[in-house]
Amino acid sequence: MSGIKASAADRRDARFGYVLAAPSLTVLFLIILFPVLSALYTSLHEYTLIAPNFDIFTGFDNFRLALADAEFRHSAWLTIRFVIGVVLLEFVIGFGIALMLNKVERFKPIYYAILLCPLLMNPVIVGLIWRMFLHPNLGIVNYLLSTVGLGPVNWLGDTKIAIWTVIMVDIWHQVSFMIVLLLAGLASLPKEPYEAARVDGANAFQCFIHITLPMMRTVIIVTLLIRLIFAVKTYDLIYIMTRGGPGVATDLVSYFIYRTAFVGLNIGEASAMSIILLTAILGLTAYLYRYMRSIR
Partner 1 sequence: MRIKWSTILPHLVLTVFSLAILLPLVWVLRVSLTDKLTAYRIPPEIGHIGLENYVEIFSVYPFERWFFNSLLVALLSTAISLPLATAMAYAFARFNTGGAMLRLGVLASQMLPPIILVLPLFTLFFTTGLMQTHLGLVLSHLTISLPFLAWMLVSFFEGDSASLEEAARIDGATRWQAFIKIAVPVAAPGILAAGLLGFILSWNEFLFALVLSGASTQTLPIGLASMETHAGVEIAPLAAATVVSLLPVFALLPFLRKYLIKGLSLGALK
Instruction: Between 72 and 258, name the residue whose CB sits nearer to partner 1.
Output: 258
25 or 92: CB nearest partner 1: 25
Q: Which of 3, 51, 52, 294 binds partner 1 (CB under 8 A)?
A: 52
Q: Is the peptide bond before 152 cis (omega within 30 degrees of 0)?
A: yes
By CB under 8 A, is residue 107 in contact with partner 1? yes
Q: How far is the CB of 171 from partner 1 (least distance, A)?
A: 10
251 vs 242: CA distance, rounded Å: 9
Looking at residues 207 to 246 of the shown chain, list those that interact with partner 1 (rule: CB under 8 A). Answer: 219, 222-223, 226, 229, 232-233, 235-236, 239-240
Restricting to residues 178-197, name those near partner 1 by CB under 8 A: 180-181, 184-185, 188
Q: Please report how close the Cβ of residue 143 comes to partner 1 at its closest, in angstroms.
A: 5
Find out whether 44 and 62 touch, Cβ atoms under 8 Å.
yes
Does residue 153 bind partner 1 (CB under 8 A)? Answer: no
Quick one: 71 or 160, whose CB is closer to partner 1?
71
Contact in structure between 243 and 8 (CB atoms under 8 Å): no
Q: CA–CA separation, 197 vs 188, rounded Å?
A: 18
First to last CA, the chain: 35
Q: Number of residues interacting with partner 1: please give it, by CB under 8 A.
A: 96
Within 243-272, which residues bind partner 1 (CB under 8 A)?
A: 254, 257-258, 261-262, 267, 270-271
Which stretch in 12-20, 82-90, 158-166, 206-214 sits in contact with partner 1 by CB under 8 A?
12-20
User: What is the nearest approach in angstroms of partner 1 to the Cβ of residue 184?
Assistant: 5
- Name residues contacting partner 1, limited to 54-93 (CB under 8 A): none
Q: Which range of residues in 66-74, 83-91, 209-217, 280-288 is near partner 1 by CB under 8 A?
A: 280-288
For residues 8 and 14, which CB has a smaller minimum distance to partner 1 in the complex?
Answer: 14
Contact stretch for partner 1 (CB under 8 A) within 65-73, 81-89, 108-116, 194-202: 108-116
